Amino acid sequence: MLLHFFSQHLWLIVAGGGAGVAGRYLQLYIRHTHNLILPDPTVDLFRFYQLHGYNAHALIGIDTGTRVWTCTETEGAVAYNEFGKVWLVSGDPLTSVENLAKVSDRFLRKARAEGRAVGFIPATEQFAKQSSGLGLRAIKIGSAPYFNLATWAPRGDRAKKARAGVNQARRAGVRVSEVINVDERLIREAACLCKSWLATRRSAIRFEWLFTVDLFQHKEKKKYFTARDANGKLVGFLAASPIPARDGWYLEDVLRSRHAPNGTTDLLVVEVLDSLKHSGAKLATLGTALMAAEGVADPDIHVSSVLSRATWFVARCCSIFYNFDGVRRFKAKFAPSWWESEYVLISQNVTAPPRVLSACLHAIVPAGPSYLIARQVSRAWRRMTNTKEKAIALKNRITEYKGNES
């Protein structure tokens, strides 16, 4: 490379730049060239994901800022983010079932050697069964509903609310279709719909990390579905991510407009599940319902009772920011075939739980809990003020009407 540099840039010295300037230029040139040839770490992650993606959140964990650790002894990789001295892994290691324990063990050794605590969130039951042997503590954080697409049908009392919603939406003229081409028009429509949907959420801000809403990230791997009203206006949107190792799909983002006809999301979910079934998929999931108690406790998973109680206490305190029960009820009304428990797996050392908790808060709310609380209080005050103003305006209209009557 040096010979190539001097042959191409000898003019710099001859023109009077001098050896010092040439040296600095050489440093910049090498640095720039080095940056250009650095491999993209997500390339390997996508390969491992396509081969071994078992956790529904595996695709979400692949982002431009994601760090990658690759096992040198067998085929496997771990995608993680670093927050302080904590490594947060969004899901399970990307490897086969046979190599899961080995790859996880090597990753944990690497973390201990660098003085890092590790948190896997959310971990599947398959991975949580390895927790004791790996020296990890398991905490149940909720459950995910799964649908066996070969046999699932929204019948019986369990699904009567979903059926009622579907019928309402169909009578209102709502139609669901799969997106064939993601164009600029759809992206603009979806952005407006997303903004409308976020305005109805309990929290006053957008969450990040696993909770972020990025509809078109990795769009080439996803399926998209739209719900449009009788006038053709976009009133619902659903993005589904593949779960390659399970021949399934994760219904990742389910959005509806504030002005959508009743039952729009019910129709969207039911129609998408039916479409996935006809495309040959074996299963689908609506993702984690945090703090949901559903799901059979596997005897091979030793859950920490102390940490579980502490987690549920923290969740109750955070219920003003996130509607845990509402999300669970929404997912349950589609009569899933079964529920799978999901976990946080953390290192055994005493300081790991508070460090992992702090890292999770920083990942989800980068501005900090105090900012979240301040925004929530401000939002509540605006709502209260608006309600008071509407009440005063209504009272004035009634007084004016009575005056005119007299």
Predicted confidence pLDDT, tens digits, the chain (406 residues): 444 444 444 444 444 444 454 454 445 444 444 444 445 667 788 999 999 999 999 998 887 678 899 998 899 999 998 888 889 898 899 999 999 999 999 999 999 999 999 999 899 999 999 998 999 999 998 999 999 999 998 888 888 999 999 999 999 999 999 999 999 999 999 988 888 777 776 554 455 555 566 788 888 999 999 999 999 999 999 999 999 999 999 999 899 998 899 999 999 999 999 999 999 999 999 999 988 888 887 888 988 888 888 887 777 777 766 778 888 999 999 999 999 999 999 988 777 888 888 777 777 666 555 545 555 555 555 556 666 566 666 666 766 666 666 5
Exposure of 381 by Cβ count < 10 A (0-12 exposed, 13-18 middle, 19+ buried)?
A: exposed
Evaluate if pTM is beyond 0.85.
Answer: no
> Does a cis peptide bond (omega within 30 degrees of 0) precede residue 122?
yes
d(CA 249, CA 149) in angstroms, rounded, equals 10
Q: What is the DSSP string of 34-100?
A: HHHHPPPHHHHHHHHHHHH--STTTTTT--TT-EEEE-SSSSEEEEEEEETTEEEESSS-EE-TTTH
DSSP 15: I
Helix then strand count (H, E) for the chain reads: 14, 13
